Amino acid sequence: MTFLKSLSVQVLVALLAGLGLGALAAAYGGAAATPMIEGVEALGGLWLNALRMTVVPLIFAVLVTGIAQVADAAATGRLAMKAVVWFLALLMVSAVTAVLLVNGILAAWPVGETASAALRAGAQAPPAGTPIAPDFAAWVKSLAPSNPIKAAAEDAILPVVVFAIFTGFALTRLPEGRGRTLLEVFNALGEAMIVIVRWVLMAAPLGVFALALGVGLRAGVGAAGILGHYVVTASLAGLAVGIIGYVLAVTVGRVPVKRWAQATAPVLAAAFATQSSLACLPAMIERARDDLGVPARVTNLVLPLAVAVFRMTSPAVNLAVCIFVAKVYGLEPSALQYTGAVFVALAVSVGSVSLPGQVSFIVSVAPICVALGLPLDLLPILLAVEVVPDIFRTLGNVTGDRAVTAIVARDEPDDHPTSQA
C-alpha cells in the first residue's frame, strides 16, 4: 500500500503503536516493564537531541537567506512591493488571530489537568520552574544581542532572529558579488542543516515510537484524548486564517462571492490532495487568469512570489502549537513574551517557507516555544499527529496566496486580450 510509504503515516502509526504498547505495559507488564521501556525511551531522547542541535544554526541560516530573498523581491518593482506589504500585514493578522482565538478556545475548552499531567510525565519534560518574564526595559534591551554567539549558545532565540534579519538586509546592500558570496555560505549552511534534519527524520518512526512508549506507560490511553484536543485546536487556527483570506478576497479584493467560490474550489481540492502550495501553483495561476480575470503580469509575479515567501497560516498554527504546549505545562506567558513570540513567528514563517513539512514544523515551532520559555519535548509527539493540521495549513495558505493576488490586481488595468491565457 503506497500510503504507508508516507513518512507522516509511518510516524502516526509509530505513535499509536508506542502509546498502545506503553499502555499495555503499564497495565500488564509489571515492575520489569518500566526499566525496559525507559531504556528504549532513552533512544527517543537521543533522537530528540539530534533534532535540537540543528535548530539555532538552521534558523539563522534560513532567516538570513529568506530575508535577503524578500528584500530582493521587493526591489523588483511596485507590484512586488505591494504584494510584500500585504504579505507582512496578513502574517501579523494571522499571528494576532492565533493568540486571541486559541487562548479563547482553550479557555472555553480547557486542557484536562489529569491528561496534561500524564502527558508531561510521559514526555519527561517537566519545566524546572515557571520562567520569570522580563520587565519591559530588560526585554527591549535584549532585542539586540551584545554577543550574538552567546545568545545562540543560550538559546536566546529572539535576539538571534533580530541579528539574522539585520544580517539578511545588510547583505543585500553590499557591493555586487560580495554579499552574494556570504549568502551562498549561509545558504549552504542551511542546506547542510536540512540534510542533517532529514537524516534524523528518517529515524522519526523509531524515535517517536520510543518516546511514545514512555508516554503510553505514564499517560495510558488518556494521551489519545489530549492529542485529539491538540489536533482540533491547531486545525481551527488554520481554518480561521483561511476564512480571513476568503473574506478579504471578497471585501478588499472585490471579487463576487460566487465567482470566488467557483475559482477557489478546484484549487482547494488540489491543496487537500497534495498538502503542498507549490503543487497547487499551476492551478492557482490558471484559475486566477481564467476565472477571476487577473492580468497575467500580476499572476505571473504575485503567485510565484507568494509560494516562495508567504505562508499565511504559519504564524497562526505555529503559535497555536506553542499555546497548547503552554497550557499542558500550566504556564501563562506574559504579554511581553507573546510579543517576542509573535515577532519570532513572523520571521520564521518567511525563513522556513521552502522547507519540507516535517522539517518546517520543528524549525518553525521550536524557536517560538523557546521565546515563550517552553520545553520542546512534546514537539515530536505533536509532529506525529500534524497530518490533519497540515491539511488546514495548506488550505489556508493557498487561499491567502490567491487573496493577495486578487487584492493586488484590484486596481491594475486589464491585460491586452492576446496576453490572456
Q: Running DSSP on this structure, what letter comes out for residue 418?
A: G
* Alpha carbon separation from 14 to 20, 323, 357, 362, 381 (Å, rounded): 10, 25, 18, 18, 10
Burial class (CB in 10 A: 0-12, 13-18, 19+), 397: buried
pLDDT tens per residue, range 244-253: 999 999 999 9
Q: Which of 36-45, 81-90, 275-284, 372-381 has the highest mean pLDDT?
A: 81-90
- Tell if the pTM clears 0.85, that is, is over it: no
Rounded Cα distance between 35 and 219, Å, is 16
The predicted model gives 127-148 an average pLDDT of 63
Residue 27: band (very low, low, confident or very high) from pLDDT cuts 50, 70, 90: confident
Residue 131: band (very low, low, confident or very high) from pLDDT cuts 50, 70, 90: very low
pLDDT of 195 strictly over 50:
yes
* Alpha carbon separation from 157 to 70, 142, 326 (Å, rounded): 21, 11, 17
C-alpha cell at 328: 499542558
Residue 259: band (very low, low, confident or very high) from pLDDT cuts 50, 70, 90: very high
pLDDT of residue 126: 44
pLDDT of residue 75: 62
pLDDT tens per residue, range 55-101: 788 778 877 887 777 676 666 567 778 888 999 999 999 999 999 99
pLDDT of residue 132: 47
Percentage of the chain beyond pLDDT 90 is: 24
pLDDT of residue 351: 66
* Alpha carbon separation from 306 to 245, 267, 274, 402 (Å, rounded): 13, 15, 18, 9
Contact, 298 vs 211, CB < 8 A?
no
Helices marked H in 172-256 = 178-202, 204-219, 222-251
Q: What's the CA dihedral at 277, 282, 284, 287 to 10 degrees?
A: -160
C-alpha cell at 118: 500524564
Three-class SS state of 311: coil
pLDDT of 129 strictly over 50:
no
